[in-house]
Amino acid sequence: MIAPSILLCADFDETITLQDTISLLFQLASCSASTQQQLEEQYMKEMSEFLDQYEAKWLHAPTTGQGSFNGTGLREFLEGYAATDLRSLKRVINCRALQGICHQTIVEAAKTVEIRPHCAETLAAVDEWKIVSANWCKKLVSSVLTQSGVVTDNNIRQSTHIIANELKVNKQGVTTGKIDVKVQSPLDKAQWINQVRSLYTGIRPIVIYVGDSVNDLLALLEADVGIWLDSDSSSSSSQLLRQLVENYGIDVQPLKAYTTFAHDVATTSDDGDSKPVIYTATDWVQLKELVDKRFQN
């Protein structure tokens, strides 16, 4: 039996990397510490207010529990979540917080970013991979992956591997503070998964998506196999994602429970009592084992 082809799509910050890299971009820019603090505080204030409203709703409403998937309610939440995040992004752009960074500075800064153990080996083991990231700097993403040995400088397809936003630069190659936005919301990520899948005709690859946060949830559901990388269940990001799967009727199973590469595409409709399934892994070792399993089916 021929092993199935795998297209592995993954988030970047805290899925591939050990830490979020947004703070690194602020450090590289000419943005003052007070401006950065003001932007962060405004974001936290608005996001906290948004989440407080929903937590009050969840507290007074029974959770979906063993019932059906509430896709309408989930999308309503994610649209509000994305709108709050977009307002923050617009403030970053409008005040030109990320201006003044040159190309070489980004390349050098990438050397300080660590990726998760066994990530590079897992990406090398699949037929094709894509990064689908809301990171503001595609150059930083590509530099990290190059310096970690995931891709090489002579890989002519490197640019097609990475779907992310990019800091715009002037004629001198220095960032202006404007951002070319391609990926911002959970819906954006899900649409990119569908767009990538549509490029294949005939026998399609099995699409695996790996992510760690709320912004990844729709992409996790859209993939044939959605894997939530939950390396720190005590983090606020993990706790919020846990609240969503519990309140909107998403089944969560350990990755070891996934036994076949049959095309069981998760549904995102409200029809019937079916619940979409996502799988949890704590590290990339488990993902590598899953990829290797295709040769055993």
In this prediction the pTM is: 0.91
Distance, CA of 65 to CA of 17 (rounded, Å): 33
Query: 188, 133 in Cβ contact below 8 A?
Result: no
Going by pLDDT thresholds of 50, 70 and 90, the confidence category of residue 262 is low
* Per-residue pLDDT at 271 exceeds 60: no
pLDDT of residue 268: 40
Whether 11 is in a domain gets the answer: yes
Percentage of the chain modeled with pLDDT above 70? 89
Whether 246 is in a domain gets the answer: yes
Q: What is the DSSP string of 115-158?
A: BPTTHHHHHHHSSEEEEE---S-HHHHHHHHHHTTSS-TT-TTH
* Per-residue pLDDT at 203 exceeds 80: no
Distance, CA of 14 to CA of 21 (rounded, Å): 9
Distance, CA of 153 to CA of 159 (rounded, Å): 11
Whether 37 is in a domain gets the answer: yes
Going by pLDDT thresholds of 50, 70 and 90, the confidence category of residue 55 is very high
277 has which bridge partners? 251
Whether 185 is in a domain gets the answer: yes
Whether 1 is in a domain gets the answer: no
Our count of domains for the chain comes to 1
Going by pLDDT thresholds of 50, 70 and 90, the confidence category of residue 60 is confident
Whether 289 is in a domain gets the answer: yes
Query: 140, 21 in Cβ contact below 8 A?
Result: yes
pLDDT of residue 150: 85
The residue segments making up the domain with residue 166 are 6-293
Bigger pLDDT: 268 or 209?
209
Of the candidates 67, 12, 45, which has an alpha carbon nearest to the alpha carbon of residue 246?
A: 67
Per residue in 147-187, pLDDT tens? 998 875 454 455 468 999 999 999 999 999 999 999 999 99
Distance, CA of 219 to CA of 168 (rounded, Å): 27
pLDDT of residue 36: 93
pLDDT of residue 19: 95
CATH code of the domain covering residue 49:
3.40.50.1000
pLDDT of residue 121: 94
Whether 182 is in a domain gets the answer: yes
Distance, CA of 254 to CA of 261 (rounded, Å): 15
pLDDT of residue 273: 52
